[in-house]
Amino acid sequence: MPDIGQKIKEAAGAVDNLTKFKKFSKLKASYIEYDKFADSSLREGYFCYNCTYWINTTGGKCMLVQDDGPDVMGKVSNVIAPHGCCSGYEPNYDKLHDTRTPDQGLSVDSEKNKEKITATDVT
Ligand code: SF4
């Protein structure tokens, strides 16, 4: 039978670890948000919208970056905007869509693309 004291210590340790987790500030993450991209097709580029860490359901938040504070241009929006991006960007292949023509896609090893994607692969 597990020792109840040990169980309490484990639970307290888990809560402590959660409270120690700190998100990066927008500045530290090199987050940037340009208004001119707000009306762009967000499915076709490097935007928070296409990032695995972006959370839409709670209204523009990120699992890694704080939503308050200024971005690298000094802009304060208090959200992680779908048209923003930072140095921690990780592509979400379920959202990104490939804009190459079918011919262009034939010569490309799409599995290799998933390892390293470049600006010429996704526009
Ligand atoms: S690009 Fe950066 S700020 Fe945007 S969702 Fe991804 S990790 Fe968060």
Residue ranges per structural domain of the chain: 20-115
Decide: residue 49, CB within 10 A, 0-12 exposed, 13-18 middle, 19+ buried. Answer: buried
Q: What is the pLDDT of residues 11-46, one digit of tens each?
A: 555 545 545 579 999 999 999 999 999 999 998 889
- For ligand 1, residues with CB inside 6 Å are 29, 31, 48, 51, 53-54, 62, 64-65, 80, 84-86, 88-89
- Going by pLDDT thresholds of 50, 70 and 90, the confidence category of residue 97 is confident
d(C-alpha 13, C-alpha 19), whole Å:
10
Residue 16 phi/psi, 5-degree rounding, is -60, -40
Q: What is the pLDDT of residue 78?
A: 94
Q: What is the best residue among 26, 30, 54, 77 to mutate for testing ligand 1's pocket, by most ligand atoms within 8 Å of CB?
A: 54
Structure tokens at 18: 């959660």
The reported pLDDT for the residue numbered 51 is: 95
Is-contact 115 37, C-beta < 8 A?
A: no
Q: Which of 112, 113, 37, 108 is nearest to 77 (CA)?
A: 37
Which has the higher per-residue pLDDT, 68 or 105? Answer: 68
Instruction: State residue 28's pLDDT score.
Output: 96
CA 118 – ligand 1 centroid, Å: 17
Token readout for 24 is 């990066």
pLDDT band at 123 (very low <50, low <70, confident <90, very high): very low
What pTM does this model have?
A: 0.68
Q: For residue 62, give the ligand 1 atom closest to its CA.
A: 8
> Rounded to the nearest whole angstrom, what is the distance from the C-alpha of residue 76 to the centroid of ligand 1?
16
